[in-house]
Amino acid sequence: MTTAPVLPAADPILRPISLKLPTPLGDAELLWLSAHNEGLHFEQTAGGVLVLSPPTGGRGNRGEIELVTQLDNWNKRTNFGVVLGISGGVLLPKGGQYEPDTAPISRAAWDAVPIERRDDGFVPVLPTAVFELLSPANLGTTGYTKEFTLKLEDYKRSEVPLVVLLHPKTKRAVIGRPGCADETFGAKVLAFPELPGLELDVAAIYAAVNTP
């Protein structure tokens, strides 16, 4: 009677996978991959690296919904422009096709996008801000994973005016702006001059992730 091999314990945290392809994928090809691989997020760096990200999990998804809901309600109240949600992608001006957790886009920037391009999987536009709700998959032993680091570098390269990284476990927010050093905040409510009238209840977002 043969004995089944003993397999190593699986890593409880699913990590992103990056693939360097001979030719960068176009919008249609990325959408095809997403449609035929349910549950995975496909993004592509400015350098043509394809990044496959695992699902965030139930509690992470609760936090994403809370984040998007707050931004959407603010936009309805202020008529700032357009807010893309969890699966809304952007093609950055200097390269990189990404799906931020939330991306508010000013009315002027959205109106400048040709109507026939507004339904692209990755809309060619510079968002006013991008919000990323970090999950364990974004973090390595000494900091961000290489895949998430490439994403942040592309945000900087295209000079996204406001980059907000929300860390549910530490209850800290890291805020980046072009030409400025990153700032870290532990406040329960955040406001941003780039997004007039928004008072982001980050405590509610962290609670959605951290509550069992």
Residue 13 near residue 23 (C-beta atoms within 8 A): no
Asked if residue 6 has pLDDT above 60, the reply is: no
Q: Find the helix or strand (DSSP H, E) in which 190 lies.
A: strand 189-192
Task: Give backbone dihedrals phi and psi of 188, rounded to 5 degrees, phi first.
Answer: -85, -20
What pLDDT, in 10s, does the model give residues 112-124? 999 999 999 999 9
- 160-193 burial by CB neighbour count: b if 16+ within 10 A, else e? bbbbbbbbbeebbbbbbbeeeeeeeeeeeebebe
pLDDT at 183: 97
Distance between CA atoms of 150 and 46, rounded to whole angstroms? 9
| Domain boundaries, given as residue ranges, for the chain | 57-210
More confident call, 28 vs 60: 28
Task: Quickly state the pLDDT bin for 1 (edges 50, 70, 90).
Answer: very low
Longest dimension (CA), the chain: 71
Lookup result for tokens 């090809």: 29
What pLDDT, in 10s, does the model give residues 37-57? 887 889 999 999 999 988 777
pLDDT at 58: 78
Distance between CA atoms of 42 and 26, rounded to whole angstroms? 12
CATH number of 57-210: 3.90.1570.10
Task: Quickly state the pLDDT bin for 13 (edges 50, 70, 90).
Answer: low
Token pair for 114 = 């040709």
- Average pLDDT over every residue of 163-192: 97
> pTM value?
0.91
- Average pLDDT over every residue of 6-18: 61
What pLDDT, in 10s, does the model give residues 88-105? 899 999 999 999 999 999
- Mean pLDDT in the chain? 91
Asked if residue 107 has pLDDT above 70, the reply is: yes
